[in-house]
Structure 1
Amino acid sequence: MSATVAPPSLLAGRYQLERILGSGGMGVVYRARDLLHEQFGEPCSSVALKVLGETFAECPDAHVLLYSEFALARGLRHERVVRMYGFDVDINRHIAFFTMELMHGMTLDRLLLEYPGGMPWRELQPMAVQLLDAVAYTHRLGVLHGDLKPGNVMVSEEGLRLFDFGLGQSLLTTGLPGLSRGHIGAWTPAYAAPELLAGDALSMAADLYGVACVLYEMAQGRRPGERSSAESLPRPRQWPRHYWPALRTALALDPERRTISVAELREMMGCPWRRWFV
């Protein structure tokens, strides 16, 4: 099954595509109207609909990759994680797609453009806790995100939402076809743990590194960048000194030295000050 960059305006006789919301990774996301729900008087029928992008549409197992993403995230029920709706195929056009809740606001990478020197702690701290809440929740369910970066975080008046599990994996046996994302070469270098770029498997430690890079950028206004060790990184001016050892540990280049979990980092940031020993 395959999809084109510009699929027909109506898919499966039900979903009316309106406009592109974003593209990247392996897919394109559209805003769409669910005409079936409209027919039954549903007042809010808009959804987000994802199809494969041009690069992956011609891959023999592309539809399996798309379904794998849907299946990985469909069991997630958390206010800080995008909600999946359903997987479908337009039989006549051989286009696979899935629908999910339509999120409002802007992505975190766009918001950060307004803070070139880093976000003030009073704004950063609650947002960081929400993001860590989302990742800690997925880890508890054995789900790895795999592509934690500002572009995969939506910001609105209701808070942060994590989305796009296209490079994610499950630590549990799901019965789904085993797909290796390594050949995709889609890791985002600025946020990918060094071991991922070296060809190692995705892990909780790699997710920890990715979310720590996001937090660092929120506080510093720029990414960690090239360095010989986490110890060589300067503490962001907007990041309190007593919280710095924990974030620095999460940014360790060696996964064996990331002796803190996402849940522990979240607990530390959500509590009043206490010393963090590393």
Structure 2
Amino acid sequence: MTAAETPALLAGRYYLERVLGSGGMGVVYRARDLLHEQFGEPNSAVALKVLGEPLSQVPDAPALLYSEFALTRGLLHPHVVRVFSFEVDTRNQTAFFTMELMHGLTLDQLLKERSGGLPWQALQPIAVQLLDALAYVHRQGVLHGDVKPVNIMMGEGGVRLFDFGLGHCQAQAEAGLPCLSRDRLNAWTPAYAAPELLVGSALTASADLYAVACVLFELAHGKRLGERHAAERLPRPRQLPRHCWAALRSALAVDPGQRTLCVAELGEAMARSGRRWFR
């Protein structure tokens, strides 16, 4: 079932209002929870995700979507999207899950408005919150797999990291839950994918580190990092303090063996400069 064929009402409860975003993995809608509205809930809006083409047509499509839900449901962090429930509309044979409706701009939208990069005063809280969220995810044994500006929201509550459709959790795999085979689609976004992923290596925390470092470089510089680069010869973005640059440059190393720090340590480097006036 394609996005155009998705019924306007799912499970007799969720009324789909409009598409919020779509990608190779899924389509996310803004929806009203009519059951909550019946009980007088004034804020009934949720985000609702279904699989997009071509995955929606495969026999194990509901299981694949459930794997993303299961991976995300245990993550409780102020800067990580919260998921609510997984359901299947049996009449329309459509699996979906609901999550918090986020408000704000994705970082790719923000970058379009700030083509010269962000000043350090604006960049630092984004960097620290994002790295804190990703470090938390890693401590839970989860790898995100698709850190890029379009999967990061900026709103009144700060950063929200979302879309774990390409993520991995070893404990989930060991428990026998279904996992996405990346052979089914061209999964990686080259501008943010660690070089080793592009030649078939497994997803690792180091690959997530490289991706988030690419995002931070773009926020500081205003332009994407070139796909072929030598980290040791990259110019320091002028908005970035010198002591932060050494850590970020290490995270951007093409050779994963030269990424000599973890996400949490990169976060510590980004937090050290100036007053932390945010939570």
TM-score normalised by the chain length of structure 2: 0.94
Which residue of the partner structure matches residue 104 of structure 2? 105
Structure 2: distance between partners of 1:23 and 1:60? 21
Which residue of the partner structure matches residue 69 of structure 2? 70
Which residue of the partner structure matches residue 265 of structure 1? 266
Structure 2: distance between partners of 1:102 and 1:127? 20
Q: Which moved more, 1:134-143 or 1:62-71?
A: 62-71
Q: Deviations over 1:154-194 (max 9, x none)?
A: 11122110000000001323431243224322111100000
Are 1:202 and 2:203 counterparts?
yes
Which residue of the partner structure matches residue 244 of structure 1? 245
Amino acid at match of 1:222: K
How far did 1:3 drift? 5.1
SS, match of residue 122 in structure 1: helix
Which residue of the partner structure matches residue 234 of structure 1? 235
Which residue of the partner structure matches residue 120 of structure 1? 119
SS, match of residue 16 in structure 1: strand
List gaps (5 residues or longer) in structure 1.
Answer: 274-278
Amino acid at match of 1:221: G
Check the 8 A contact 1:224/1:233 in 2, yes or no. Answer: no
Check the 8 A contact 1:82/1:101 in 2, yes or no. Answer: yes
Which residue of the partner structure matches residue 55 of structure 1? 54
Q: Deviations over 1:25-61 (max 9, x none)?
A: 3110000011111112222111000011122211222
List gaps (5 residues or longer) in structure 2.
Answer: 275-279
What are the residue-to-residue correspondences of 1:23-102 with 2, within 5 Å? 23-102=22-101
Which residue of the partner structure matches residue 221 of structure 1? 222
SS, match of residue 54 in structure 1: coil
Task: Please report the RMSD computed on the Cα atoms of aligned residues, expressed in angstroms.
Answer: 1.3
Which residue of the partner structure matches residue 255 of structure 1? 256
SS, match of residue 5 in structure 1: helix
Structure 2: distance between partners of 1:16 and 1:67? 21
Structure 2: distance between partners of 1:228 and 1:125? 24
Which residue of the partner structure matches residue 212 of structure 1? 213
Amino acid at match of 1:269: M
TM-score normalised by the chain length of structure 1: 0.94
Over the matched positions of the two proteins, sequence identity in percent amounts to: 67
Check the 8 A contact 2:2/2:53 in 1, yes or no. Answer: yes
Q: Deviations over 1:117-142 (max 9, x none)?
A: 11000100011001001100000001
Structure 2: distance between partners of 1:268 and 1:45? 40
Say how many residue pairs are matched: 272
How far did 1:4 drift? 4.2
Which residue of the partner structure matches residue 277 of structure 2? none
